[in-house]
Structure 1
Amino acid sequence: ANIYREPKLAEFTDNIVLFLLILAVAWLMFNLVDVIDAALRRVSEKTDTKLDDQLVPLVRKSLRIFLVVVFTLFVAQNVFGLDITGWLAGLGIAGLAVSLAAQDSVKNLFGSLTVLFDKPFTLGDWIVTEGIEGTVEEVGFRSTRIRTFYNSLITLPNANLINAAVDNFGRRKYRRWKTYISVQYDTTPEQLIAFTEGIRELVRTHPYTRKDYFQVWCHEFGPSSLNILLYVFHQVPDWSTELRERERLFIDIVRLADKLGIQFAFPTQTIHLYQEEHKPYQSRLESPQSMTERRAMVNGIRAAQEIIKDQPWRNSPPGPVEFRQGPTDLKLDEHGNPVIDKES
């Protein structure tokens, strides 16, 4: 039997059913965007370039905005019976008004396009711009989020990046280390030559140092020391690895100084008392011969090679620094002494 319904009530119930159906489809499509986003992320993780890592969040946001606009217009026309052709025709005038009112948003959009195509930085890069220093976490339509080294999150409008200078530390091929090594004034010239040449040999054989350019020289006479310039570069993937390799070179230099009998200097003052009668000065240094400097250099190289010959990185260069959770599992023998694991 046919059930009679009032025309208005029938139209109202049909619109409710249609609205719920559209809402269900919209919710399904909206959640499908998350599935697409997860699939794109898995693909981007397998590639070396970071451009796709920046595009994935933008694609997710673009799809969601597109779905909201489409389903809103669909509901307006099919559920509420509104004529959206007039709306679309009025978008030209409304777009002009909106563009005038949203100039900053348009600038931010062009700023995000500049970041994507000009690529002054990518996700994970360590940058400094406009007094802000940190690691890039996300690049969006309106802003870029930077995680500072004190772990706060700074949101930088993309419009600022169009004309801003960006210092990208993440793009460095080499990381410079410049320091001075101070030794005592009673160090002999032969010891200085052996020490500087030994340091050069350490740099030449170090697993992460730049080999085609470095400077190690006796540089200046300090107030209480002879200062040796150490100017080297490390080719490492991150800051933690840089610090570890600095430490490796630092410790080998200390071992080299001990092997050559060289003492490091510290700030001191020497008071000389004047004597009217004093003995004639006698030089404690012998005049250099034709092979004096060469023998000193050979001694330094041999000392450096002896220090590094049995170090484990000679056979297997170390990888980047890995942070592990504690406590560290220490292997002990039956007497309680630590057991050295040769594979670690």
Structure 2
Amino acid sequence: MIRTTAWTRFAGVILAVSGSLTQIPPLFAQSVPSGSSSSNQQVARPSTTSSDFFELLESGGDLLVSFFRPHDETPPVDQPRRNSLNSPRHTVETFLEAMRHIEAGREEAWPRALKTISIPEDNQLSGKQVAADLKAVLDRLPELSAGTLPGPEQVSDRDIRRYEIFPAGVDHQWIWDQASLAPRNAVSLKLTDGEEWKFDKETVQGIAELRENLRSIPPRENEDRQGELFLQTFLPMFENTPWWGWFTTLLGAGLGILAGWWGLAFFHRTAKSLEEQEHPVAGQACRAFGPPAVLFLVVIGILIGSGPLQVGATLGSYRWHFIELLLLVCFGWLLVEVIDLIVFASRKTLLNDGDVYMRMGTTILRRAIRVIVGVLLAVFVVQNALNVNLTAVLGGLGLATLAVSLAAQDAVKNLFGAMMVFVNRPFMVGDWISYDGRMGEVMDVSLQVTRIRLLSGEIWTVPNMHFTEDAIENLSLRKYLRREMNIQIPYDTQPEKILQAQELLHEILTSEDVTADGKCRPEEKQPSISFSHFGDYFLNLRVYYWYFMSPSGAGTQRQTERGWLSYLDHCSLVNQQIVERFNEEGIEFAFPTQSLQLSDDPRRELHLQMAEQASQAAESDHARTSKAG
């Protein structure tokens, strides 16, 4: 029997915390190593032989709670810890707790003990005698830890309807060696029609004989030890592994990680060198096979390094299953990279890699394949390696599944939006677009979002679902830019200067350097210059001319290196020539002004005299009209 000293409790807590953070696949019906010591008053007794990772984790949780909570005495008879028959675990706990109360003289616990037993109506033995015999038998069997008995979850998942504690559930060979007579009876529980787990009729009928057969085996001490299964599993590893075993483990894991880091750097350098030598497929192959190979090296290092650890049967099985899980992940990763490499190589060798649409399509295809293979691999691991029934899990989640499905609506909309972008092609990666009042270059189109680098340098992330409804202006599909200018000259400009200004603008826009920079052919696209209107303080000359993306006029911005920034350079060239030519000819530009005329201005004398004469004439007419009346 293991003594839970302060050191063992502390070690158990550390292992419980680390075990709860490590996802190791469950392994049902595995052996648990026995304790390292035994009582002087009883035969060395093995533990039960049925456990899985989640039961082991539950036992570690019990140990963790008991470490921080003072050890409780037996609970009051009217406040039982367990009073349920919904699983073999709960039935056995209910029975044993009630029988401890009865052994302490608390007779009121009998109804709770008797309700766990299916006593036939024709049985001549009393229920109390059957319960006492059953308790005596259970005290002589290998230790029954709560974590080793199926709980409600295990009963539901495995559809268990009968559970045998003895001989199937314990080390029966040890019983045969220690018993005076070979036992012929069993201890088992069945699920009744009322959906309650009880010790069955066969157990009741043979329990007296079984007690007699086990009389030579002394009973265990009645101790309530929390986390016994966890300690029995992990403590032998600390007690039996020598110091050099731990050193070898750390050395092997360290060498595996070091080899993985070196291998990753090697593959990265090799891929970069191949890409610089214009071997993109070979470089991509190095990038594809590098990470899975590194993971494989790390797994091998862990496997070799953990060899000297005396982990026992249960932890040994967990270790092998954990290694299998890592190798499965490595294989799945390699499969994803191989498919991705095939798509990449097909685009480079068989398809037109210069086609922007083809590049974006293969990028989306590669990402979709990664997601599909990753999901299939995760489902395979969960259902096979972890032995989890996904259908039952999803069905049991109920409202949580509904909430997740509602929350995933936007994700589905974004995925549909990505498909629409791929099918309708409103833009491509590398295109300049204007959306929602912002302008930038499309950097990436993923399955959920599109990333746009704005002119100011920021990355703007837009969910793909917006592109199925909102209008988008694709600037990269335009063949030319038509520029509109308003040249404003002051009101005191002479008429001949206005005509001269229009002629100068025409000469500038049809000059060789401007048309060459704008790739414009004046014989096809003549600039338009007009005296358009009178402004508040200016005379307006409106100018239209064209800036083409290609010399032929048929190429789009996407097909050339020209764009918004080159257009701004062209505007600077035209503006500079306009300023220079207007200054040479003495033509001024208008700026906001307001004219004020003073009353004593000599240039206004004629106007004032005419106003006085008009006033006097009006007075004379009024006087003649009055006399006539």
TM-score bucket of the superposed structures, by smaller chain: 0.5 to 0.7
Q: Give the alignment's TM-score, normalised by structure 1.
A: 0.62
Distance of 1:186 and 1:159 partners within structure 2: 57
The answer for the alignment partner of 1:226 in structure 2 is 539
Distance of 2:606 and 2:319 partners within structure 1: 122
Q: Give the alignment's TM-score, normalised by structure 2.
A: 0.36
CA contact (8 A) 1:209 1:232 kept: no
Could you say if the C-alpha distance between residues 190 and 43 of structure 1 is closer, same or farther in structure 2, counting changes exceeding 3 Å? farther
State whether structure 2 residue 443 is matched by structure 1 residue 137.
yes
Q: Any idea what SS the aligned residue of 2:412 has? A: helix
CA contact (8 A) 2:347 2:353 kept: no
* Identical pairs, percent: 30
CA contact (8 A) 1:126 1:134 kept: yes
Deviations along 1:32-75, whole A, 9 cap, x unmatched?
56756875786799745422343344233222223323333444
Could you say if the C-alpha distance between residues 192 and 75 of structure 1 is closer, same or farther in structure 2, counting changes exceeding 3 Å? same
Structure 2 unaligned blocks of 5 or more: 1-29, 32-312, 396-400, 550-561, 608-629
CA contact (8 A) 1:40 1:56 kept: no
Displacement of 1:164 in angstroms is: 1.4
Displacement of 1:216 in angstroms is: 0.9
State whether structure 2 residue 334 is matched by structure 1 residue 28.
yes
The answer for the alignment partner of 2:296 in structure 1 is none
Distance of 1:131 and 1:225 partners within structure 2: 31
The amino acid that maps onto 1:65 is V
The answer for the alignment partner of 1:260 in structure 2 is 585
Deviations along 1:132-151, whole A, 9 cap, x unmatched?
54332221212222333333
State whether structure 2 residue 498 is matched by structure 1 residue 192.
yes
- Let me know the Cα RMSD of the aligned residues: 4.1
Displacement of 1:129 in angstroms is: 3.3
The answer for the alignment partner of 1:165 in structure 2 is 471
CA contact (8 A) 1:214 1:231 kept: yes
Could you say if the C-alpha distance between residues 21 and 215 of structure 1 is closer, same or farther in structure 2, counting changes exceeding 3 Å? same
CA contact (8 A) 1:44 1:52 kept: no
Distance of 1:144 and 1:122 partners within structure 2: 10
Distance of 2:493 and 2:345 partners within structure 1: 65
Distance of 2:578 and 2:357 partners within structure 1: 42
The answer for the alignment partner of 1:113 in structure 2 is 419
State whether structure 2 residue 239 is matched by structure 1 residue 239.
no
Deviations along 1:205-253, whole A, 9 cap, x unmatched?
4221654253211223334433211222322421111111011111122
Displacement of 1:154 in angstroms is: 3.0
Distance of 2:567 and 2:362 partners within structure 1: 31
Structure 1 unaligned blocks of 5 or more: 1-6, 91-95, 279-344
Distance of 2:329 and 2:592 partners within structure 1: 78
Higher strand share: 1
Q: Any idea what SS the aligned residue of 1:249 has? A: helix
CA contact (8 A) 2:340 2:369 kept: no
Computing the radius of gyration over CA atoms, which structure comes out larger, 1 or 2? 2
Deviations along 1:120-139, whole A, 9 cap, x unmatched?
22223333334554332221
The answer for the alignment partner of 1:313 in structure 2 is none
Higher helix share: 2
Structure-to-structure mapping, 1:1-344, within 5 angstroms: 15=321, 18-32=324-338, 47-76=353-382, 79=385, 102-205=408-511, 206-207=515-516, 208=518, 210=520, 211=522, 212=525, 214-236=527-549, 237-272=562-597, 273=601, 274-276=603-605
Distance of 1:220 and 1:45 partners within structure 2: 57
